[in-house]
Structure formats: C-alpha cells, structure tokens
Structure 1
Amino acid sequence: MAWQKLCPLEEIPALGARVVAHADGDIAVFRAEGDSVFAIADACPHKGGPLSQGIVHGQKVTCPLHNWNIELDSGHACAPDEGCVRNYPVRIEAGEVWLET
C-alpha cells in the first residue's frame, strides 16, 4: 500500500465529494462536517449508486438512487439496510489530503 497525495482540502467541496479513479473502481473522497475526510468505494452496496453524488450529513452519505444511508467512517449501511462498501485510509497533512490505496 502507498499513500497518494490527492489535493488541498479546499478542493473538496464542504459536505461534498471528489472522485478518484482506482484499478478496483472509483473511490469517493468526502469532506464531512468539521472538515473530516473519509474515503469509500463510490458504489452503494444496494444497487451500485454513485455515493459521491449523494447528500452528506454528519458523517454519513445518502445514496442518490434509493436513499440508503452509508457511514463514511466504516462504509457500513445504516439499519435497517444491510451491506457495506470498502473504505480507504485517508489523512490530512499540512492542508493536503492523502489517500492510501
């Protein structure tokens, strides 16, 4: 595994996401409340909806297709829904976002 420098934190919209292409599929990097940053696979476990286009609230994202809520820190769907997506380690260093792939 290697750390990849993505961008300055300010380039990810507040309560939004940026998509990073990866060999295993796109990764959605989210900037949640309080400038917390999370990275998960950009495909809802329900029907593969693009989570990067969902609504971020707290430390969750709501899938734009069928309103499933996914926890950004773990990738797990919130009850009563079941399933999860892969999450990726991410960090902020000197205002820059780094992703471990």
Structure 2
Amino acid sequence: MTTKQSGTYFPAGEIDEFLPRIGRVVEIEGRQLAVFRASDGTVFAADNHTPHPKGGPLAEGIVSGHYLYDPLYDWKIDLCTGQVQAPDKGQVEMFPVKIENGQVWIAV
C-alpha cells in the first residue's frame, strides 16, 4: 500500500462537487490527482496516472464499489490500497482524504 500516512491537507472542493462513481481531476501542489466518490460516499484520491507501461489518465475510469477500472486498459485497481488486481500487476499512489463540514481535504 502506498497511501501517504502524513502530509499537509489541502482543500479539494465541496463534497457535492464529486459525483458518485465519476472521477474528477484536482490539481494540488502541482500534482494531478484523480478523485473518486464511491456509491457508498467514500472518497478516494489517486495519482492521475495509470501504472500501465503505456501510461494514461485514471480520472476517466469506471468506479464499481471500491474498485476502479482503468479507462484505457481495463485494469482493475483497488481504491483502498492502489493495488492492481491479478492477473495484471502494478500500484497506484493513493493519498489520504478527509471530509470536514462538507469539504473534501487531500493530503499530499
């Protein structure tokens, strides 16, 4: 798991700006993050870059439960850990998220 355990939290937007199961790109501290809100309300933040060797964005992927399906290569990625599921291999960098007073905060 590559979730950062510490860091400064930055505001990413109001929770209502993040539609369930639809990714959104947020730039924080010069980094492009793909932010996803699962249907159960859990919010995840990932580096907006697929671990596939050919590269590409993740924000346009499809969310099902706590999994993301890479939009270009259909790799299944666990949004809790960033781990690509077998038979594929790889890791997506994940970032801590907290929600306070309707505001989404992401640590980088």
Is TM more than 0.5 here? Answer: yes
Task: Work out whether 1:32 is the aligned partner of 2:38.
Answer: yes
**Consecutive unaligned residues in structure 1, runs of 5 or more:** none
Asked if the contact 2:75/2:85 (under 8 Å) is kept, the reply is yes
Give 2:100's match in structure 1, choosing from 84, 93, 100: 93
Q: Aligned pair count?
A: 101
- The whole-number CA distance in structure 2 between the counterparts of 1:28 and 1:72 is 11
- The whole-number CA distance in structure 1 between the counterparts of 2:94 and 2:72 is 20
- The whole-number CA distance in structure 2 between the counterparts of 1:79 and 1:64 is 17
Task: Work out whether 1:76 is the aligned partner of 2:83.
Answer: yes
Quick one: higher RCO (CA 8 Å, sep 6+), 1 or 2? 2
Superposed counterparts of 1:42-61, under 5 Å: 42-46=48-52, 47-61=54-68
Task: Work out whether 1:64 is the aligned partner of 2:71.
Answer: yes
**Consecutive unaligned residues in structure 2, runs of 5 or more:** 1-6
Superposed counterparts of 1:6-17, under 5 Å: 6-17=12-23
3-state DSSP of counterpart to 2:86:
coil
Quickly say closer, same or farther: Cα 1:7–1:25, change in 2 above 3 A. Answer: closer
3-state DSSP of counterpart to 2:23:
strand
Give 1:4's match in structure 2, choosing from 6, 10, 26: 10
Superposition deviation, residue 75 in structure 1: 0.9
- The whole-number CA distance in structure 1 between the counterparts of 2:42 and 2:29 is 25
Equivalent in the alignment of 1:20: 26
TM-score of the superposed pair, with normalisation by structure 1: 0.92
- The whole-number CA distance in structure 1 between the counterparts of 2:56 and 2:78 is 15
TM-score of the superposed pair, with normalisation by structure 2: 0.86
3-state DSSP of counterpart to 1:52:
coil
Task: Output the amino acid matched with 2:86.
Answer: A
**Backbone CA RMSD of aligned residues:** 1.4
Quickly say closer, same or farther: Cα 1:5–1:24, change in 2 above 3 A. Answer: closer
